[in-house]
Amino acid sequence: MSEPTTFSDSPQSAEIAVIGGGVIGMAIALRLARDGREVVVIEPNEAGSGASFGNAGTIADYGVLPVANPGVLRNLAALAFDRDSPLSVRLAALPGLTPWIARFLRNCLPARAEANAAALGELLHDATSLWLEFAAEIGASGHLHRNGGLYAYDTPQAMTAGAAEAAFRRRHGVELELLDGPQVAQMEPRLKPVAGAQFFPNAVNIDDPGEVMQKLATSLTEAGVLMVPRAVRRLERRGGRVHLLGDGLAIAVGTAVIAAGAHSRALSAQAGDPLPLDTERGYHIEYDMTEPLLRRVVCPVARGFYAVPMAGRLRFAGTVELGGLGLPPDPARHALLERGARAMFPHLGTPDRCWFGFRPSMPDSIPVIRRGRLGGDVILAFGHGHLGLALAPRTARMVARLVAEQLGSAARRGR
């Protein structure tokens, strides 16, 4: 097979290539550049335009509860096949999803859920402080608001049932307060009355994820990171280098970091790491408004989405749809969010815009952040699920350490 033609905007070699220009890939590239590395980012789409833009804009230090947990197992049939459920499965994608779902169900068992939560707690324990530092570094501090977040319960019975999840989170290091209905009303006077809520005081709201992604991309350019607008189709090891190939792309690097989110599975397998990565398809709708209806992120627990105050608009984001990468968006999921939005704020009309994208999801909810099994010249950094935004600075630091160890080892071997 002949080598693809190399375009003028794609170098033929580099010290490090980060494959993926979402918040994870860009944060990694910036940290490596700050460490004095020569870095290119390879991303076929506009940087930060996927789930890094379309998320719930929350630095969720409380996100230790894995998607796979005993509560899901107890209510699986109702959750997975009810079209109004926060968790749904596209039946057309079910044959390809079956191996992933089997692993997911095993991780719903109590002992596994506890172990997975402990791992998430370790990753998330300083997410807020790391993001405050990171935002200052990229000039985005004004977009972060440390107002905390609410998980709201409609009925006393739901509040009582939620106490088990509150205890679970506390066991894994999450700071939270239990509020009654009047306390919630004092914090969010425009919210319909609720029975109570869990309040997470350390949660941070980002009021414009798209703008923050642009600031991050600008910081990369200022740090000398080259953005290569191509897609990597093949990864090969030969001649002591990692060769990344695609249409208009042929670049040889010393270290490749696979951080392509939901699109990472094929490249990881080519690198010798076949992993059970699949896709949770995310949706959001937005309503433009001059004055926000909420002061902080609110999750109506029964509906499984987030209502997020953002600059000039209110975003409703979330739910889980298992359906792979190939199927078109399901209008029923946007309609579900719209009904939920009007349940919270009956005067809302038709949304001003909607969005659909992909979250990279592992069956245990634990992101893959490690060296490749066949060598540290390939580093894996994907599978963050709902926590990609929150964990970007932490992941960048972890990958930077792995790169330093790899390059140090290579230098010792070369002496």
Handedness of CA 385, 386, 392, 395 (dihedral sign): negative
Confidence at residue 335, expressed as pLDDT on a 0 to 100 scale: 94
Q: Are 40 and 226 in contact (CB under 8 A)?
A: yes
pLDDT band, very low/low/confident/very high, at 7 (cuts 50, 70, 90): very low
Q: Which two tokens stand for residue 43?
A: 């991303």
Instruction: Give me the count of residues in the chain.
Output: 415
Task: Identify the domain containing residue 320 by its residue range.
Answer: 63-92+145-202+277-361
Q: Which two tokens stand for residue 243?
A: 């060769």
For residue range 351-403, list pLDDT tens digits in order. Answer: 999 999 999 999 999 999 999 999 999 999 999 999 999 999 999 999 999 99
For residue range 161-213, list pLDDT tens digits in order. Answer: 899 999 999 999 999 999 999 999 999 999 999 999 999 999 999 999 999 99
Q: How far apart are CA 20 and CA 262, in angstroms?
A: 10
Q: How far apart are CA 57 and CA 386, in angstroms?
A: 11
pLDDT, averaged across the chain: 92
Does residue 338 sit within a domain?
Answer: yes
User: Listing from the earlier edge strand, what are the strands of the sheet with 58-59?
Assistant: 58-59, 204-206, 144-145
Cα 387 to Cα 70, 189, 324, distances in angstroms: 20, 29, 19
pTM above 0.75, yes or no: yes
Does residue 80 sit within a domain?
Answer: yes
Does 156 have pLDDT greater than 50?
yes
For residue range 39-81, list pLDDT tens digits in order. Answer: 999 999 999 999 999 999 999 999 999 999 888 877 776 666 6
Q: What is the CATH number of the domain that holds 301?
A: 3.30.9.10
Does residue 212 sit within a domain?
Answer: no
Q: How far apart are CA 258 and CA 271, in angstroms?
A: 10
Does residue 47 sit within a domain?
Answer: no
Confidence at residue 102, expressed as pLDDT on a 0 to 100 scale: 93
Residue 349 has a CB neighbour count (10 Å cut-off) of: 9
Mean pLDDT of 404-412: 76
Does residue 401 sit within a domain?
Answer: no
Does 414 have pLDDT greater than 70?
no
**Residue among 378, 409, 411, 400 at smallest CA distance from 30:** 400
For residue range 203-225, list pLDDT tens digits in order. Answer: 999 999 999 999 999 999 999 99
How many folded domains does the chain comprise? 1
Burial of 331: CB neighbours in 10 Å, binned 0-12, 13-18, 19+: exposed
Does 3 have pLDDT greater than 60?
no
- DSSP annotation of 167 reads H
SS3 state at 226: strand
Cα radius of gyration (the chain): 21
Q: Are 247 and 4 in contact (CB under 8 A)?
A: yes
Does residue 247 sit within a domain?
Answer: no
Residue 368 has a CB neighbour count (10 Å cut-off) of: 19
Residue 113 has a CB neighbour count (10 Å cut-off) of: 23
- DSSP line for 70-104: HHHHHTHHHHHH-TTSSEEE-GGGHHHHHHHHHHH
Q: Are 197 and 149 in contact (CB under 8 A)?
A: no
Contacts of 357 (CB under 8 A, 6+ apart): 50, 51, 53, 54, 281, 282
Tell me the pairing of strands 375-382 and 368-372.
Answer: antiparallel
Tell me the pairing of strands 305-310 and 313-322.
Answer: antiparallel
Q: Are 367 and 120 in contact (CB under 8 A)?
A: no
Does residue 213 sit within a domain?
Answer: no
Mean pLDDT of 288-302: 94
Torsion from C-alpha of 14, 19, 25, 30, nearest 10 degrees: 10
